[in-house]
């Protein structure tokens, strides 16, 4: 955990690293890799990765998130979304080293769900998630105080998306809440509304709003947005009292960039196209799309699609390009020409993977992710509540 002093009123303790901040001398620390990071121009990187992985054998288990680069994915033992990968890691108790090719909050979840004697490695510590960074524990605790001031904390259940830091998950565990994924957000919200009158949904306002309105049938007026940068979230006590869904003002820097105009444009460009988007997209994008679902749902839908069908996909570009390559009999395009890769996911590249693996061969585990025991205990409470939720929603 890095403590930085900002221009804000109090020092902020950041679970993740802000990139390129000159006020934070430790920023970019994962990029430096003192003395040993292979140059990206090294023509032997693929061979080096192969050799190191072979030398480690079953001692290492490499996880690759769907949004990772091809150069990294080729070395993954399993691929998946963040929750599937954490479960895959937990199912490999005999592998002492888990190399997580993904972002920081995913490696934290893997550490929480694996045994204490397993070591989780994130090849580049600067691979954070801008969405997860948008909800910091001090801000969430201040928001909870604001809900208490408004007299509604005891009827509010906190629900956090998997894409959040371990201390936000722990906050939910301590306060009767739960973790959800994009696959089971509907089930998690129903669970929460059986236990309270309101939900504080962290940190992705779009997943919260899309699920509440499209799956649970709430109205947009029943959703309010809590802005952590404004006193009392920028909301009056009356607005908080009237709301059912209190949405944290966070979003994904990739999915949040697709617009309703992107959907109109692709429909004009590609005749008969089916628009399929992730629920982290804005509400106006999701309502204009033909289908919405998690990355696993997107992959399964395209697997089942007929030859010759046309698809515009609104999710991270690495995955869309891989799906287009895997289905040459279908016309698969990216939803928007201007949206780019997830820059933090792309921090994990082949040089960092080689660096991590070769260090393991030499007996050194670099960039290890360890969640402190108290945070782990309560984060696990919230994760275990999710695991015991009945069934799954339709879009797994
Ligand atoms: S794609 Fe979005 S939610 Fe996923 S890691 Fe990148 S910024 Fe975070």
Are both 17-128+344-372 and 255-334 of the same fold? Answer: yes
Mean pLDDT of the 31-57 span: 85
Q: Which residues are CB-neighbours of 88 under 8 A, at least 6 positions away?
A: 61, 63, 78, 80
Query: Measured between alpha carbons, how far is 208 from 217 in angstroms, rounded to an integer?
Result: 12
pLDDT score for 154: 97
pLDDT at 320: 95
55 C-alpha to ligand 1 centroid (Å): 32
pLDDT for 298-310, tens place per residue? 999 999 999 999 9
User: 106-149 pLDDT, tens per residue?
Assistant: 999 999 999 999 999 999 999 999 999 999 999 999 999 999 99
* Confidence at residue 389, expressed as pLDDT on a 0 to 100 scale: 87
- CATH of 255-334, picked from 3.40.30.10, 3.40.50.1400, 3.40.50.10800, 3.40.190.120, is 3.40.50.10800
What are 151-196's pLDDT values in tens digits? 999 999 999 999 999 999 999 999 999 999 998 999 999 999 999 9
The pLDDT of residue 23: 42
Distance 307 CA to ligand 1 centre (A): 30
Give me the long-range contacts of 149-153 (CB less than 8 A, separation at least 24): 149/232, 149/237, 150/232, 150/237, 150/240, 150/241, 151/237, 151/241, 152/197, 152/198, 152/240, 152/241
Taking phi over 0 as left and psi of -120 to 50 as alpha, with beta for the rest, 350 belongs to: alpha
Residue with CA nearest ligand 1 atom 5? 129
pLDDT at 7 over 70: no
Nearest atom of ligand 1 to the alpha carbon of 103: 5
What's the predicted TM-score (pTM) here? 0.89
**88 has pLDDT over 80:** yes
- What pLDDT is attached to residue 22? 42
pLDDT at site 33 = 53
Which residue from 102, 255, 295 has its CB within 8 A of the most atoms of ligand 1, so it is best to mutate? 255
Residue 231, pLDDT above cutoff 90: yes
Question: What is the tens place of the pLDDT at every residue in 245-299?
Answer: 999 999 999 999 999 999 999 999 999 999 999 999 999 999 999 999 999 999 9
Q: Is 294 in the pocket of ligand 1 (CB under 6 A)?
A: no
Distance 158 CA to ligand 1 centre (A): 21
Asked if pLDDT for residue 15 goes beyond 60, the answer is: no
Annotated binding residues for iminosuccinate, as ranges? Answer: 65, 82, 161-163, 182, 278-280, 295
- Cα R_g (the chain), whole angstroms: 21
Rounded CA separation 302/300 (Å): 5
**C-alpha to C-alpha distance for 293 and 252, rounded to whole angstroms:** 15
Binding site membership of 180 for ligand 1 (Cβ less than 6 Å): no
Looking at 3.40.50.9100, 3.90.1410.10, 3.40.50.10800, 3.90.650.10, the CATH number of the domain 132-253 comes to 3.40.50.10800
For domain 17-128+344-372, the question of CATH label 3.40.50.10800 is answered with yes
Q: How far is the C-alpha of 286 from the C-alpha of 31, rounded, in Å?
A: 36
Domain boundaries, the chain: 17-128+344-372, 132-253, 255-334
How far does residue 351's CA lie from ligand 1's centre (Å)? Answer: 21
SS percent in the chain: helix, strand, coil, step 5: 45, 15, 40
Query: Can you spell out the DSSP letters for 232-296?
Result: GGG--HHHHHH-SEEEES---TTGGG--HHHHHHHHHHSTTPEEEE-TTS-HHHHHHSSEE--HH
Query: Would you say the CB of residue 252 lies under 6 angstroms from ligand 1?
Result: yes
Cα 74 from Cα 70, distance rounded (Å): 6
Q: Is the minimum distance from the CB of 106 to ligand 1 under 6 angstroms? A: no
How sure is the predictor about 14, in pLDDT bands with cuts at 50, 70 and 90? very low
Is the CB of residue 302 less than 8 Å from the CB of residue 323?
yes
pLDDT at 26 over 60: no
**All residues at 6 or more sequence positions from 370 whose CB lies less than 8 Å from its CB, including other chains:** 111, 120
User: Which ligand 1 atom sits nearest the alpha carbon of residue 253?
Assistant: 7
User: Two tokens at 102?
Assistant: 């993904």
What's the CA gap between 59 and 321, in Å, rounded?
Answer: 31
Check if 344 has its Cβ closer than 6 Å to any atom of ligand 1. yes
pLDDT tops 90 at residue 82: no
User: Tokens for 383?
Assistant: 């994760």
**Does residue 253 line the site of ligand 1, with CB under 6 A?**
yes
pLDDT tens digits for 62-72? 999 999 999 99
Give the rounded distance of the alpha carbon of 341 from its chain centre: 14
* Closest approach atom of ligand 1 to CA 129: 8
Report which of residues 39 and 345 the model is more confident about: 345
- Cα separation, 230 vs 111, in Å, equals 34
- Residue 100 CA to ligand 1 center (angstroms) comes to 15
């Amino acid at each position: 955990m890095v403590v930085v002093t900002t221009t804000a009123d109090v020092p902020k303790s950041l679970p993740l690293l802000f990139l390129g901040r000159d006020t934070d001398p430790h920023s970019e620390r994962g990029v430096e890799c003192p003395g040993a990071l292979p140059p990206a121009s090294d023509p032997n990187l693929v061979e080096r990765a192969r050799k190191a992985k072979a030398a480690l054998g079953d001692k290492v288990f490499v996880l690759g998130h769907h949004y990772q680069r091809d150069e990294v994915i080729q070395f993954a033992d399993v691929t998946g979304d963040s929750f599937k990968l954490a479960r895959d890691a937990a199912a490999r108790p005999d592998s002492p080293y888990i190399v997580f090719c993904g972002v920081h909050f995913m490696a934290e979840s893997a550490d929480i769900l694996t045994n204490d004697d397993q070591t989780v490695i994130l090849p580049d510590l600067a691979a954070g998630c801008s969405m997860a960074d948008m909800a910091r524990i001090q801000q969430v605790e201040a928001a909870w105080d604001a809900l208490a001031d408004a007299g509604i904390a005891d009827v509010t259940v906190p629900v956090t998306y998997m894409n959040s830091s371990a201390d936000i998950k722990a906050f939910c565990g301590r306060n009767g809440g739960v973790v959800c994924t994009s696959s089971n957000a509907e089930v998690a919200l129903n669970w929460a509304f059986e236990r309270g009158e309101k939900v504080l949904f962290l940190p992705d306002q779009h997943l919260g709003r899309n699920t509440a309105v499209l799956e649970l049938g709430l109205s947009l007026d029943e959703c309010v947005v809590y802005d952590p940068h404004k006193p009392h979230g920028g909301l009056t006590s009356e607005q908080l009292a009237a709301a059912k869904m209190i949405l944290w003002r966070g979003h994904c820097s990739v999915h949040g960039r697709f617009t309703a105009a992107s959907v109109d444009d692709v429909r004009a460009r590609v005749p008969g196209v089916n628009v399929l988007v992730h629920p982290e997209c804005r509400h106006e994008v999701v309502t204009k799309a033909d289908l919405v679902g998690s990355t696993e749902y997107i992959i399964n839908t395209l697997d089942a699609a007929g030859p010759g069908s046309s698809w515009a996909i609104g999710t991270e570009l690495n995955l869309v390009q891989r799906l287009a390559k895997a289905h040459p009999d279908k016309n698969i395009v990216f939803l928007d020409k201007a949206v780019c890769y997830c820059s933090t996911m792309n921090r994990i590249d082949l040089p960092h993977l080689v660096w991590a693996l070769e260090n393991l061969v030499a007996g050194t585990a670099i960039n290890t992710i360890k969640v402190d025991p108290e945070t782990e205990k309560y984060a696990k409470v919230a994760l275990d509540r999710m695991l015991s939720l009945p069934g799954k929603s339709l879009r797994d």
